């Protein structure tokens, strides 16, 4: 009798230990298993996350929709994109512009000279270790993550400046199930124009020593055509489009006297978009780059008009290749973005 009672007590003790262990493990399991099924985006606030990709973890800066809505606006950086922060977050007031709106701002970090595309190979000029797969990240990995936080896979807008402007149209054209709006500010939208492929090659070498052959192959490769907005323009039909460019003349966001003497430090516009203060050299550089962007954008406008594809255009009487103008264009395009996404 005493032996049975001792055995029962021993079995009961073992069962209680097992139940306790399971109870302790349950919250951890729930945290892991439950993370992918969040049904609503956080209501407002800022967050920095790392999202897995074929390139490794990618940092993403996020400002959540003010009232937990499911719409998102992707903001793409320029040619000299940095690895610590997307320049939209510190060169503009983008967060303040949309802080009260029901749209999540998504700012991917990194991608210098990438054109946010899937490359053939790592750049062999600068010892790049990984192959850029930005299109895959922005249209597969990132939306899959955002969906777990309540952001729709299909109620999205994408816009960018310079390199990012060209890429925004490319992403929207080939991923119509994801994007309803695409915007380009000072984008290079006619890569087939004489000299453009050579300009891109030089700019990428200047911005990190990247080899454009590793991106889309030699200039005669079909990948250049695939990523040329002028060529794939018919695929933009039905999208809400906002296309803008300055004319290269210095304006309100260029430092007074910059053409007469050095007033700043780091490159404000660089090759196809970057950040910093204005110097005489940089202002001259920004004027030239914006003049090229204007010619590209005007020819792209003619292309869309010939196809009967409507778009909103803004050609400012002054403006160089610099962040102040791109911040202003984001504000001007905001009503169209919010209308398209129903995100007021």
290 catalytic residue (yes or no): yes
Q: What is the rounded distance in angstroms from the CA atom of residue 236 to the CA atom of residue 311?
A: 10
Tell me the three state secondary structure of residue 181: strand
Greatest C-alpha distance within the chain: 104
Task: Spot the catalytic one: 186, 321, 328, 329.
Answer: 321
**DSSP letter string, 77-103:** --TT--SS--THHHHS-HHHHHTTSSE
Structure tokens at 336: 């169209």
Q: Is 137 in contact with 308 (CB distance < 8 Å)? A: no
> CA angle 98-55-266, nearest 5°?
60
Token output for 104: 């999540």
C-alpha 241 chain-centroid distance: 16
What six digits make up the tokens of 323? 């962040």
The answer to whether 192 and 166 are in contact (CB under 8 A) is no
Tell me if residue 54 is catalytic: no
Backbone φ and ψ of 219, nearest 5°: -55, -20
What are 187's two structure tokens? 């984008």
Cα–Cα distance measured from residue 165 to residue 152, given in angstroms and rounded to the nearest whole number? 22
Residue 342 CB-half CA count within 13 A: 5
Q: Count the residues in the chain.
A: 344
Task: Verify whether residue 277 is a known catalytic residue.
Answer: no
Cα 103–chain centre separation: 15
In the set 117, 123, 162, 327, the catalytic residue is 162
* Contacts of 222 by beta carbon, 8 Å cutoff, 6+ apart: none
Please tell me which residue in 290, 327, 328, 329 is annotated as part of the active site.
Answer: 290
Instruction: State the catalytic residues.
Output: 162, 290, 321
């Amino acid at each position: 009798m005493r032996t049975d009672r001792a055995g029962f007590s021993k079995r009961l003790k073992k069962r209680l230990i097992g139940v306790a262990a399971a109870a302790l493990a349950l919250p951890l399991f729930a945290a892991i298993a439950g993370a992918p099924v969040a049904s609503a985006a956080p209501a407002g606030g800022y967050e920095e996350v790392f999202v897995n990709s074929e390139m490794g973890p990618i940092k993403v800066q996020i400002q959540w929709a003010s009232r937990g809505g499911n719409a998102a606006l992707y903001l793409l950086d320029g040619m000299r994109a940095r690895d610590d922060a997307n320049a939209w977050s510190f060169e503009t007031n983008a967060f303040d512009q949309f802080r009260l709106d029901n749209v999540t701002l998504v700012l991917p970090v990194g991608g210098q000279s990438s054109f946010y595309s899937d490359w053939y190979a790592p750049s062999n000029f600068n010892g790049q270790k990984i192959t850029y797969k930005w299109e895959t990240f922005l249209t597969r990995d990132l939306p899959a993550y955002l969906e777990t936080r309540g952001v729709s896979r299909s109620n999205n807008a994408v816009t960018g400046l310079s390199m990012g402007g060209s890429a925004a149209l490319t992403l929207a054209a080939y991923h119509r199930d994801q994007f309803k709006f695409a915007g380009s500010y000072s984008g290079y939208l006619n890569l087939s124009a004489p000299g453009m492929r050579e300009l891109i090659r030089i700019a990428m070498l200047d911005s990190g020593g990247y080899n454009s052959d590793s991106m889309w192959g030699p200039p005669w490769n079909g990948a250049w055509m695939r990523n040329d907005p002028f060529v794939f323009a018919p695929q933009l039909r039905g999208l809400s489009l906002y296309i803008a460019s300055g004319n290269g003349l210095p304006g309100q966001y260029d430092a007074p006297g910059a053409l007469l003497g050095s007033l700043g430090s780091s490159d404000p516009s660089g090759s196809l978009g970057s950040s910093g203060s204005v110097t005489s050299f940089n202002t001259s550089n920004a004027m030239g780059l914006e003049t090229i962007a204007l010619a590209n954008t005007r020819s792209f406008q003619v292309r869309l008009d010939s196809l009967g594809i409507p778009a909103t255009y803004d050609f400012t009487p002054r403006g160089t290749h610099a962040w102040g103008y791109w911040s202003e264009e984001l504000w001007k395009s905001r009503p169209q973005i919010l209308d398209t996404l129903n995100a007021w």
